[in-house]
Every structure is written in C-alpha cells, then in structure tokens.
Structure 1
Amino acid sequence: MGEPAVSWQAILSTDPVAIAIPVFVLSIIIELVAVRMGWRGDYDWRDTGTSLAMGLGNTISGALLAGSVTGLALWLWQHRLFDIPVAWWSFALCFLVDDLAYYWIHRAGHRIRWAWAAHVIHHSSQHYNLSTALRQTWTGLFGLTFIIKLPLFFIGFPLELVAFCGGLNLIYQFWIHTEVIGKMPRWFEAVMNTPSHHRVHHGTNPRYLDRNYAGVFIVWDKLFGTFEAERADEPPRYGIIRNLGTFNPLWVAVHEWVGIARDVARARSLKTALVAAFGPPGALSGETADALRAQWQAETAPPASPPPAAVPAE
C-alpha cells in the first residue's frame, strides 16, 4: 500500500522554521550562559541586538516579497518536465538537490558583488555565536540568487516540498554558528557541515576567505574545490574585510548597496560600472578574496633555496 497522502500534506503544510523559533531562543540563552561560565565564545549585547533586528526584518521582508518568487516557481512547475510525487524518496532527493542548489547560491553570494550586497549582512558581525545565525538579509530577493533554485520546480519538485526542505536546511545551519562546540567525530566532519567548518567560512583570515559554502553537506565543498579545514594554530577572525563599526540595523542592511551605487556613479566606463556591480567583491580596490589569498601565500611562502654551487671542472 502506498503512503497516505494526507500525512505528507499535513507535514508539508507546516512551517518548520516557525516551529523551531522557540528552540532557537532557548539555545541562544543556553549558549550565553555557557559563555558566561567560561566556555569558548563571545557575546556583545549590542551586536546580538542588531542580529535579532536583522532576523526580524528578514521575516517581514520575506513575507512581503515571497509572493513574486512563488508565482514564478508555480509557473515553472506548471511546465514541469516530470510529475514527481511526494514520497519518502522524493523528499530525500529534494533535500539533497536543494542543498546542492544552496551551495551554488551561497557561492554566488560571495563571488558576485550584486549578490554579496544582500548576503554580506550575515557576515557583518565580528562575533560568532548562535545569534549570528539570525543576522539575515532584508534584501535577499534583490540579490537574484534565488534563480539558481528555480530549476527544481521546472524538473517537477512540488513547491511545498522544496519550501519544506529549504526550511529544514535553514534549521540545520542554526547550530553550526557557535564556538562552544569544537570538533565533531571524524566521520561526521567528513560528510556534514559543522561548527568547525562554518567558523572557517566566517573567517576573514586569507586562508579562510571564500571557503566552505556548504549548507548541510560539506561534501559539496570537497567536490568543487572550496573546502578548507579549521586549524588549531589559526583561529578565525570574524567579520568582513572592512568592518562597519556600527550596530545600526538600517546601515547594516543597505551599506553594500550604497557602496555599489557610489562606485557605479563614479565609474568612467561601462566596463568599470559592470565590474563595480557584478564583479567579485573588492574588484575595484584589488582586495578580492583571491587577491588577498595570493598576497598572503606569497608573503608566507618559504624562501627559495639557492641553486647548488657549480663544481669547477678539473
């Protein structure tokens, strides 16, 4: 007998993120107490307040703007290639494919300045704790990276299934924003994204820049060459290359968009304007992640050994 459709409908009609919010709040309180008792980590009430404000704004903006994306997704699903039913196997497949899409969305959010303007908010804290997970963008729709997920609907995954899997992905990522947890068991670190892996992602150390984009499965980074392990002798420094120096949520939300507008207005050619908007972050100043990493590698490379002295002929 097949699985009862009503059970899946009941499950997919729920919002897993909304259900998880009390757990988020309780976890933050527990982590805060642990840090105050001497566990590794750091909290600043001003920074945490900004993160909570960003999370609230993200919820409001998402509710206001989600309709346009839903409409486009529904249109694509109506022209779908396959009729994918809702079942345990399609749920597992959707969760896997959705996480792969997230990897590329996240990678684009770091490599394209237009998308970075929406994503940089999440990296703007110089602290790393569970409240940082709630520091989310107010302008995610304008970053346009949602386009990467649209093929899932064209393939035939139902909208409610994709939304549910995306919610679970978001919930998973909450717990990896902490310094309280060190390394997980080796087998877990090999496959899954962990606090250790994600601390690297939030690090501004040249070694760590633009690494570990994974949502749930770290295997994507290992497969596509963007993995970097956390080193005990090099703790991550958190924030962005040029930290904001303010806890004003409005400026946190829009500062990079303002920067793009200024750089485009100053551009003296169409090429420069396009680089300012759609090139890698830091392209105009020469401070891209690749450039900073290359400079660091050149400065830390061991000196070349002198060539052996020539032996005189007898």
Structure 2
Amino acid sequence: MNCKNTQLTFLNEVMPDFPNIILYAIPFFIFAMLLELYVTVKMGLKTYEPKDAFSSIAMGLGNVFLGFASKALVLFAFFLIYDSFKFFEIPIAWWSFVLLFFADDFSYYWFHRISHECRLFWASHVVHHSSQHYNLSTALRQTWSGGFYTFIFWLWLPLLGFHPAMIMLQMSISLLYQFWIHTEIIHKMPKWFEAIFNTPSHHRVHHGSNPIYLDRNHAGILIIWDKLFGTFQPELENEKVTYGLVKNINTFNPIKIAFIEWFYMFRDAFSGKKSLKNRWLYLIKPPGWKHDGTGKISTDLRKEWLKSNKNI
C-alpha cells in the first residue's frame, strides 16, 4: 500500500495537471460540424455525404479509444529520454511554451512530409486523405495505427529538456488548431494570416489529388516551413481541388479505411519474386513506387502536369 502511494505521489510530482483538451473539445467539434452543415446547405454546397461523414466520425472515435494505449507508449518513451538523457532542464514557463510551439510545429512538418514520402508512414496517414469530401468531419478521420510509431519525430524534444507533459499538450493544441481548416466555406483569410499560418485554402491544396497539389503544404499551424523547404503550393483559382487519393479506396468501412494500405504495402513487399533490397524499398520509397519502373510517384505526376500546363 505504501509502495502504491509512493508511486502516485511520484506521478503527481512529475506529471503536471494539464487538461486533455481534445476530449473537452468534442462538444465544440459536434456544434461546429452541425453549423457547417447548415451553412453549406444554405450556400448550395454539397460537401457532406452521410456515409462518408459517419466513416470519418467512426475513425475519430477509434483514434480516441486507441489513443489511451498509444499515448501511454508515447509518454513512456518521452519520460525514458527526459529522465535519462536530456541535455538541459527546461522549466515549465511561458517562454518555454513559446519555444516549444515552434519546435513542435517544426516536428509536425517533418512528420507530415515524411508521411507522404515514405510508404511505411503513409500506410497510417493515408487514412486522413481517404475521403473524397472536404468538411469538418474529415478532420476527425484519423489513423488507428500511427500513434504507435509516428511519435519518433518528437523524440528530440524531451532530449532537449522539454517536459513530456508540455509536449503532449502542445501536440494536442496543434491537432485542435487543424480542425477548423478542414472546410470549404472559408475561401481566404487576410493576406498577412495566409502568409504565416496554415489556412483552409492552404490545407485544401494538401487534400487535393490533382497532380499540382500532391504532397504540398504539410504545415501544422505555420505555413512558413513549407515556404522554407520548398513544398508550398497556393490554391489556384483555375484548378479546383479534387479531394481524395490518386487511386481512391472507395469504401466507407472503418476497418478497411484503417488497414487497407497496410495490406497493400505488405503484399507489394513480400509477394512475388523480388530481391531483398526491393522488398525493403517498398516500405521506405514513396507511394506509387514500383521496383520494375512502371510506377509513378507524386513528383513524376507533378512534373508531367507542369509540363503540359506551362502557362499556369
């Protein structure tokens, strides 16, 4: 009994009492989706399809449920590094949250970019791009598997000395910010805002399957990283966004949505006669890559589009 009390005291000391803002935001998510549905109907926009929206909501609920397990793993990894290997002791203060805001957003950019450029990470991230509709419910279409391994992009933060609870809170803030940008009812934000922050316009591009839009605008909160690292693409007035995948999966089944790309990836890697090197490359090369040279990745499709649309 004393041992348990000691453990609880230790957890209370090392784990600041930050709220789980995602759970608190669920009523807001529901209200915002109903409001968006009302506005889009008034505007004559057909952005919602019932089966698609319910699939997205089911994916979101599954993500929250599995999140209890994945977050335990993430916290364990963060604390392991923070307690044993951290370089500095960064206090929990307003200025450290400012630093963490930029560090977390930088981490998110590279996580997001690699999730489009490496099939092993795309296998979980493809879930978020699987809808052919774009509305606030699409924001809830989250992975069931990614939480168990994509946190590696944030491991450098506890190594620097940021407290794991701070990191988890900032990751939730980033996710919460990205909810509102999944809409078509906001055309453009003010120019200064569009120049610095991720917006509905920037993120519509990211969800486009048009060749010119593929693998662009990986921002979380700040669009500056895309502009800095050459992955920014503005939304073009004469190129309406077509949402979804280059090859859509055409299912509303949450189980298939969650795991179908894992099946395709392992099938490509481990079936047929291939060298060990090529089997490995199917896991780390971009989606669309094939060992026999017949596949096309997003950069190939983008180059072809730009070549045939030189005047744009």
Fold conserved (TM > 0.5)?
yes
Deviation at 1:296, TM superposition (A): 1.4
Gaps of 5+ in 2: 1-13
Q: Find the counterpart in structure 2 of residue 291 from structure 1.
A: 300
Summarize the Cα distance change of 1:11–1:81 in structure 2 as closer, same or farther, 3 Å threshold.
closer
Q: Is the 8 A contact 1:12 1:161 kept in 2?
A: no
- Give the CA deviation at 1:66: 2.2
Q: What's the secondary structure of 1:147's corresponding residue?
A: helix
TM-score, length of structure 1 as denominator length = 0.90
On the 8 A contact 1:41/1:129 being kept in 2, the answer is no
Matches within 5 A, 1:137-286: 137-142=143-148, 144-267=149-272, 268-284=274-290, 285-286=294-295
Tell me how far apart the structure 2 counterparts of residues 35 and 178 of structure 1 sit (CA, whole Å): 10
Find 1:104's aligned residue among 95, 107, 110: 110
Question: RMSD of the alignment, in Å?
Answer: 1.6
Deviation for aligned residue 1:52: 0.4
Q: Which moved more, 1:273-282 or 1:121-130?
A: 273-282
- Where does residue 307 of structure 1 map in the other structure? none
Asked if the contact 2:119–2:286 (Cα under 8 Å) also holds between the matched residues in 1, the reply is: yes
Q: 1:125 aligns with which of 131, 149, 168?
A: 131
Q: Partners in 2 of 1:72 and 1:129 — Cα distance?
A: 34
Distance in 2 between residues matched to 1:277 and 1:297, nearest whole Å: 28
- Partners of 1:92 and 1:301 in 2: CA distance: 42
Whether 2:70 is the aligned partner of 1:61: answer no
- Which deviations, in whole Å up to 9, do the C-alpha atoms of 1:10-37 show, x marking residues without a partner? 9852111111111111000000011111
Query: Structure 1: which amino acid aligns with 2:179?
Result: F
Q: Which runs of 5+ in 1 are unaligned?
A: 1-8, 303-314
Match of 1:92 in 2: 98
> CA separation in 1, counterparts of 2:256 and 2:249?
9
Contact 1:51-1:134 within 8 A present in 2 as well = yes
Which shifted more, 195-204 or 38-47?
38-47
> Which residue does 1:301 correspond to in 2?
310
- SS, match of residue 89 in structure 1: helix
Shift in Å, 1:151: 0.4
Query: For the residues of structure 1 that align with 2:189 and 2:306, how far apart are their CA atoms?
Result: 29
Q: What is the TM-score of this pair, normalised by structure 2?
A: 0.91
Give, in whole Å, the separation in 2 of the partners of 1:158 and 1:91.
10
Sequence identity percentage:
46
User: How far, CA to CA, are the matches of 1:232 and 1:292 in structure 2?
Assistant: 20
Q: Which amino acid aligns with 2:124?
A: A
Pick the structure with greater CA Rg.
Answer: 1
Per-residue CA deviation, residues 38-89 of structure 1 (Å, 9 max, x unaligned), is 2545100000000000001111111122222211110100121111001110
Q: Secondary structure at the match of 1:73?
A: helix
Q: Judging changes above 3 Å, is the alpha-carbon distance between structure 1 residues 242 and 162 closer, same or farther for their aligned structure 2 residues?
A: same
Q: C-alpha separation between the residues in 1 aligned to 2:56 and 2:218?
A: 21
Partners of 1:41 and 1:180 within 8 A in 2: no
Task: Work out the number of aligned pairs and report it.
Answer: 293
Assess if the C-alpha contact under 8 Å between 2:209 and 2:242 holds in 1.
Answer: yes
Counterpart AA for 1:182:
H
Per the TM alignment, residue 219 of structure 1 is displaced from its structure 2 partner at its CA by: 0.4
SS in 1 for 2:43: coil
